[in-house]
Amino acid sequence: MNKVDLKDLNNSFSYADFRAYVTDALQNNPDELQLSADYMPYAELNEARLHRLDKTLQVEPEVALVMENLGSDYIWLVISESWCGDAAQSVPMLNKMAELTAKVELRIVFRDRHLELMDQYLTNGGRAIPKLLVVEKDTLNVVGDWGPRPADAVKLVNDYKTEKGKFDEDGIILLNKWYTKNKGQQVQQEVAALMTSIDQ
Protein backbone atom coordinates (compact mmCIF):
# COMPACT_ATOMS: atom_id res chain seq x y z
CA MET A 1 0.00 0.00 0.00
CA ASN A 2 1.38 3.39 -1.00
CA LYS A 3 1.87 6.19 1.49
CA VAL A 4 1.79 9.90 0.77
CA ASP A 5 5.04 11.66 1.57
CA LEU A 6 4.76 14.51 4.06
CA LYS A 7 6.73 16.75 1.70
CA ASP A 8 3.91 16.48 -0.84
CA LEU A 9 1.31 17.37 1.78
CA ASN A 10 3.44 20.22 3.10
CA ASN A 11 3.58 21.67 -0.42
CA SER A 12 -0.13 21.27 -1.09
CA PHE A 13 -2.83 23.93 -1.25
CA SER A 14 -6.34 24.12 0.10
CA TYR A 15 -8.89 24.61 -2.67
CA ALA A 16 -9.31 28.29 -1.78
CA ASP A 17 -5.56 28.86 -1.68
CA PHE A 18 -5.04 27.02 -4.98
CA ARG A 19 -7.68 29.17 -6.64
CA ALA A 20 -6.20 32.36 -5.20
CA TYR A 21 -2.65 31.35 -6.17
CA VAL A 22 -3.58 30.64 -9.79
CA THR A 23 -5.73 33.76 -10.11
CA ASP A 24 -2.97 35.98 -8.73
CA ALA A 25 -0.36 34.35 -10.98
CA LEU A 26 -2.47 34.80 -14.10
CA GLN A 27 -3.06 38.46 -13.31
CA ASN A 28 0.32 39.48 -11.96
CA ASN A 29 3.03 36.89 -12.63
CA PRO A 30 2.16 34.23 -15.27
CA ASP A 31 5.69 32.80 -15.12
CA GLU A 32 4.87 31.54 -11.62
CA LEU A 33 2.64 28.87 -13.20
CA GLN A 34 5.55 27.49 -15.25
CA LEU A 35 3.39 27.11 -18.37
CA SER A 36 4.33 27.25 -22.02
CA ALA A 37 2.59 29.80 -24.22
CA ASP A 38 0.42 27.01 -25.65
CA TYR A 39 -1.02 26.16 -22.25
CA MET A 40 -1.68 29.69 -20.95
CA PRO A 41 -4.99 30.19 -22.84
CA TYR A 42 -6.34 26.99 -21.25
CA ALA A 43 -5.45 28.24 -17.77
CA GLU A 44 -7.20 31.53 -18.51
CA LEU A 45 -10.29 29.75 -19.86
CA ASN A 46 -10.41 27.58 -16.74
CA GLU A 47 -10.49 30.69 -14.53
CA ALA A 48 -13.88 31.65 -15.96
CA ARG A 49 -15.08 28.04 -15.85
CA LEU A 50 -14.09 27.61 -12.20
CA HIS A 51 -15.73 30.88 -11.23
CA ARG A 52 -19.00 29.67 -12.75
CA LEU A 53 -18.85 26.12 -11.38
CA ASP A 54 -18.01 27.26 -7.86
CA LYS A 55 -21.31 29.14 -7.90
CA THR A 56 -23.56 26.66 -9.68
CA LEU A 57 -22.56 23.08 -8.81
CA GLN A 58 -24.72 21.30 -6.25
CA VAL A 59 -24.20 18.07 -4.31
CA GLU A 60 -27.05 15.57 -4.59
CA PRO A 61 -28.80 14.71 -1.28
CA GLU A 62 -27.78 11.03 -1.35
CA VAL A 63 -24.14 12.01 -1.96
CA ALA A 64 -24.31 14.56 0.85
CA LEU A 65 -25.54 11.78 3.13
CA VAL A 66 -22.52 9.64 2.29
CA MET A 67 -20.16 12.49 3.08
CA GLU A 68 -21.91 13.44 6.31
CA ASN A 69 -21.84 9.84 7.58
CA LEU A 70 -18.16 9.04 6.99
CA GLY A 71 -16.68 7.29 10.00
CA SER A 72 -12.96 7.93 9.48
CA ASP A 73 -10.87 11.00 8.69
CA TYR A 74 -9.41 11.39 5.22
CA ILE A 75 -7.28 13.69 3.13
CA TRP A 76 -8.35 14.03 -0.48
CA LEU A 77 -5.10 14.83 -2.24
CA VAL A 78 -5.77 15.97 -5.80
CA ILE A 79 -3.02 16.08 -8.41
CA SER A 80 -3.94 18.85 -10.84
CA GLU A 81 -2.77 21.75 -13.02
CA SER A 82 -4.23 25.15 -13.84
CA TRP A 83 -4.48 24.36 -17.58
CA CYS A 84 -6.32 21.04 -17.22
CA GLY A 85 -9.89 21.17 -18.55
CA ASP A 86 -10.93 17.94 -16.85
CA ALA A 87 -9.66 19.26 -13.51
CA ALA A 88 -11.56 22.52 -13.95
CA GLN A 89 -14.73 20.50 -14.49
CA SER A 90 -14.26 17.98 -11.66
CA VAL A 91 -12.26 19.54 -8.81
CA PRO A 92 -14.92 22.15 -7.93
CA MET A 93 -17.35 19.29 -7.31
CA LEU A 94 -14.81 17.48 -5.14
CA ASN A 95 -14.48 20.69 -3.15
CA LYS A 96 -18.26 20.98 -2.74
CA MET A 97 -18.35 17.42 -1.41
CA ALA A 98 -15.44 17.92 0.98
CA GLU A 99 -17.04 21.09 2.38
CA LEU A 100 -19.95 19.01 3.68
CA THR A 101 -17.91 17.17 6.31
CA ALA A 102 -15.10 17.70 8.80
CA LYS A 103 -14.02 14.13 7.95
CA VAL A 104 -12.44 15.17 4.63
CA GLU A 105 -9.67 17.71 4.06
CA LEU A 106 -9.15 18.57 0.38
CA ARG A 107 -5.60 19.40 -0.68
CA ILE A 108 -4.22 20.08 -4.16
CA VAL A 109 -0.72 19.72 -5.63
CA PHE A 110 0.60 20.76 -9.03
CA ARG A 111 1.37 17.68 -11.10
CA ASP A 112 4.56 18.96 -12.70
CA ARG A 113 6.02 19.93 -9.32
CA HIS A 114 5.24 16.47 -7.91
CA LEU A 115 6.12 14.04 -10.70
CA GLU A 116 7.41 11.39 -8.29
CA LEU A 117 3.95 11.28 -6.72
CA MET A 118 2.17 11.47 -10.08
CA ASP A 119 4.17 8.59 -11.51
CA GLN A 120 2.75 6.24 -8.88
CA TYR A 121 -0.76 6.82 -10.25
CA LEU A 122 -0.51 6.74 -14.04
CA THR A 123 -3.51 6.09 -16.27
CA ASN A 124 -2.69 3.79 -19.18
CA GLY A 125 0.94 4.82 -18.73
CA GLY A 126 0.17 8.55 -18.87
CA ARG A 127 0.21 11.36 -16.32
CA ALA A 128 -3.52 12.01 -16.68
CA ILE A 129 -5.11 14.49 -14.32
CA PRO A 130 -6.97 15.25 -12.18
CA LYS A 131 -6.15 12.31 -9.97
CA LEU A 132 -7.80 12.10 -6.56
CA LEU A 133 -5.94 10.12 -3.90
CA VAL A 134 -7.99 9.11 -0.87
CA VAL A 135 -5.56 9.16 2.05
CA GLU A 136 -6.16 7.92 5.60
CA LYS A 137 -5.40 10.93 7.75
CA ASP A 138 -3.83 9.02 10.63
CA THR A 139 -1.59 6.67 8.58
CA LEU A 140 -1.14 8.61 5.29
CA ASN A 141 -1.92 5.35 3.47
CA VAL A 142 -3.54 5.80 0.07
CA VAL A 143 -6.66 3.64 0.28
CA GLY A 144 -8.26 4.56 -3.02
CA ASP A 145 -8.03 6.79 -6.06
CA TRP A 146 -10.24 8.26 -8.75
CA GLY A 147 -9.72 10.04 -12.05
CA PRO A 148 -8.97 11.53 -14.40
CA ARG A 149 -12.53 11.43 -15.80
CA PRO A 150 -15.93 9.94 -15.01
CA ALA A 151 -16.72 6.68 -16.84
CA ASP A 152 -18.98 8.19 -19.49
CA ALA A 153 -16.43 10.90 -20.27
CA VAL A 154 -13.74 8.22 -20.64
CA LYS A 155 -15.99 6.38 -23.09
CA LEU A 156 -16.65 9.59 -25.05
CA VAL A 157 -12.93 10.25 -25.43
CA ASN A 158 -12.09 6.65 -26.34
CA ASP A 159 -14.92 6.46 -28.90
CA TYR A 160 -13.83 9.75 -30.44
CA LYS A 161 -10.22 8.58 -30.72
CA THR A 162 -11.36 5.33 -32.33
CA GLU A 163 -13.42 7.21 -34.90
CA LYS A 164 -11.09 10.14 -35.61
CA GLY A 165 -7.70 8.64 -34.82
CA LYS A 166 -6.86 11.39 -32.32
CA PHE A 167 -8.48 13.63 -29.71
CA ASP A 168 -8.50 17.14 -31.20
CA GLU A 169 -10.14 20.51 -30.50
CA ASP A 170 -13.51 19.27 -31.75
CA GLY A 171 -13.23 16.39 -29.30
CA ILE A 172 -12.48 18.80 -26.47
CA ILE A 173 -15.62 20.78 -27.36
CA LEU A 174 -17.72 17.60 -27.25
CA LEU A 175 -16.21 16.63 -23.91
CA ASN A 176 -16.90 20.04 -22.40
CA LYS A 177 -20.50 19.86 -23.63
CA TRP A 178 -20.82 16.52 -21.84
CA TYR A 179 -19.48 18.02 -18.60
CA THR A 180 -21.86 20.99 -18.90
CA LYS A 181 -24.85 18.73 -19.39
CA ASN A 182 -23.86 16.31 -16.61
CA LYS A 183 -23.34 19.11 -14.03
CA GLY A 184 -20.93 17.09 -11.91
CA GLN A 185 -23.42 14.28 -11.26
CA GLN A 186 -21.19 11.42 -12.35
CA VAL A 187 -18.14 12.80 -10.55
CA GLN A 188 -19.96 12.96 -7.24
CA GLN A 189 -21.69 9.61 -7.70
CA GLU A 190 -18.45 7.78 -8.53
CA VAL A 191 -16.50 9.37 -5.70
CA ALA A 192 -19.32 8.76 -3.23
CA ALA A 193 -19.36 5.09 -4.28
CA LEU A 194 -15.58 4.94 -3.78
CA MET A 195 -15.87 6.44 -0.30
CA THR A 196 -18.66 4.03 0.62
CA SER A 197 -16.46 1.08 -0.38
CA ILE A 198 -13.51 2.43 1.61
CA ASP A 199 -15.28 3.63 4.75
CA GLN A 200 -16.47 0.25 6.04
In this predicted model, what pLDDT tens digit does every residue of 142-167 receive, in sequence order?
999 999 999 999 999 999 999 999 99
Q: Could you tell me if residue 166 is inside a domain? A: no
pLDDT at 87: 97
86 confidence band (pLDDT: 50, 70, 90): very high
131 confidence band (pLDDT: 50, 70, 90): very high
- Which residue range(s) make up the domain with 19? 6-148+184-198
Q: Could you tell me if residue 167 is inside a domain? A: no
Report the pLDDT averaged over residues 72-77: 98
In whole angstroms, give the CA distance from residue 175 to residue 181: 10
Q: Could you tell me if residue 19 is inside a domain? A: yes
Q: Could you tell me if residue 156 is inside a domain? A: no
Q: Decide: 150 and 186 in contact? Cβ < 8 Å.
A: yes
Q: Could you tell me if residue 59 is inside a domain? A: yes
In whole angstroms, give the CA distance from residue 5 to residue 139: 11
Give how many domains the chain has, as a whole number. 1
Peptide bond into 41 cis (omega under 30): no
Q: Could you tell me if residue 159 is inside a domain? A: no
Start-to-end Cα distance in the chain: 18
Q: Could you tell me if residue 189 is inside a domain? A: yes
Asked if pLDDT for residue 37 goes beyond 90, the answer is no
User: Please, what is the angle between helix 40-56 and helix 85-98, to 10°?
Assistant: 30
User: Please, what is the angle between helix 85-98 and helix 15-28, to 10°?
Assistant: 140
**DSSP 8-state secondary structure symbol assigned to residue 120:** T
- Is the pTM value of this prediction over 0.85? yes
In whole angstroms, give the CA distance from residue 142 to residue 133: 6
Q: Could you tell me if residue 154 is inside a domain? A: no
* Predicted confidence (pLDDT) per residue in 107-127, tens digit: 999 999 999 999 999 999 999
pLDDT at 170: 93
CATH of the domain at 50: 3.40.30.10
